[in-house]
Amino acid sequence: MAHRLHADGVTLRYDKRLISTGLSVAIPDGSFTVVIGPNACGKSTLLRALSRLLPPSTGRVILDGRSIGELPAKEVARRLGLLPQSSVAPDAITVADLVARGRYPHQSFLRQWSNADEDAVAAAMAATHMTDLSDRLMDELSGGQRQRAWIAMVLAQETPILLLDEPTTFLDIAHQIELLDLLADLNRKGRTVVAVLHDLNHACRYASHLIAMKDGAIVAEGRAAEIITEQLVEAVFGLPSIIIADPVSATPLVIPKGRPVPAIHTPDSRKQSA
Ligand SMILES: Nc1ncnc2c1ncn2[C@@H]1O[C@H](COP(=O)(O)OP(=O)(O)O)[C@@H](O)[C@H]1O
Ligand SMILES: [Mg+2]
């Protein structure tokens, strides 16, 4: 399998805080890769390294055969779009202006705003249902609307590779599924998608390639059906669970065991109080 984007033996750190040591990961071209793992295990750090924001202290991240650190930022941004986990918009910017910033890597002194830019912005806003909100200020939007505006900005960048850090956080369940379906469509049309997701069942449904991380390392990777087991969920999240087949997609569906359900919710107790 071909891999335009891979990390080879990277050590990732923030000053003295070591996050990953000798980590290697390859993103299969054309895959919908989903990264899962508990809070603070290093998912965002990995995405930052893969997108050139965080230079590894050892090892290399390779994009199209070259060390990503040697490529100019704008060139990287034409091939790879990143939606960071928490993005803060500049004050008093409209949705349309924010999404238009996604076109920056395609512009130059000689090639300024063009019809191609206009089309890309319009298509990205339509895909995320933001067209009607285009004149609104970012800080006057709900969390979910704001998130969709950011996603529109990354889509407008029209990169063959998309890296999205928790794109469904802040979205209601319908908008989560809608966004995942949109990403699946983009993936079918040829884009490589890498997303960090917290919902294991969404991850199992949508990922063609799943990467499970813990403590800065990859614990398992492959197809959901191959790697998601009760043992893995326990090992990675410390969560006892039962895994059944998702009745819609037949992919693994993780049911947390949790504590026993309080008696008030059991059918017997309802009968007694009736
Ligand atoms: N800018 C930073 N400076 C120092 N430590 C950081 C920074 N960003 C993240 N960390 C730490 O690195 C670890 C991994 O963080 P992160 O990659 O964001 O985890 P995840 O995305 O899996 O929740 C955490 O312990 C976090 O506190
Ligand atoms: Mg994160």
Q: Give the domain CATH number at 209.
A: 3.40.50.300
Task: Check residue 269 and give its pLDDT.
Answer: 54
| Prediction pTM value | 0.92
Residues 184 and 216 in one domain: yes
Q: Ligand 2 mean position to 124 CA, how many Å?
A: 24
CA of 94 to the centre of ligand 1 (A): 30
Same domain, 153 and 169: no
CA of 40 from ligand 1 middle (Å) equals 6
pLDDT, averaged per 10 consecutive residues of the chain (274 residues), comes to 95 96 98 98 98 97 97 95 86 93 85 88 94 95 90 96 94 92 94 97 98 98 97 96 96 90 66 52
Burial class (CB in 10 A: 0-12, 13-18, 19+), 129: middle
Q: What is the pLDDT of residue 90?
A: 80
DSSP string, 258-271: -SPPPGGGSHHHHH
Ligand nearest to the CA of 38: 1
Instruction: Give, in order, the Cα–Cα distances in Å from 115 to each of 56, 134, 170, 173, 174.
Output: 38, 18, 33, 35, 33
User: Is 102 found in the same domain as 229?
Assistant: no
Predicted pLDDT at 260: 73
> Which pLDDT does position 108 carry in this prediction?
77
Determine the pLDDT at residue 261.
72
Is 49 a member of any domain? yes
State whether 22 and 123 are in the same domain.
Answer: no
User: Cα torsion for 230, 30, 61, 149, to the nearest 10°?
Assistant: -90
Say which ligand is closest to the CA of 49: 1
Instruction: Indicate left, alpha or beta for 254 from its phi (over 0: left) and psi (-120 to 50: alpha).
Output: beta
What pLDDT is stored for residue 56 in this prediction? Answer: 98
Task: Please choose from 44, 50, 218 the residue to mutate so as to test ligand 1's pocket, defined by most ligand atoms within 8 A of CB.
Answer: 44
* Tokens coding 123: 């298509």
- On whether both 225 and 169 belong to a single domain, the answer is yes
Q: Which domain holds residue 149?
A: 91-157
> Is 244 part of a structural domain of the chain?
no
Per-residue model confidence (pLDDT) at position 112: 81
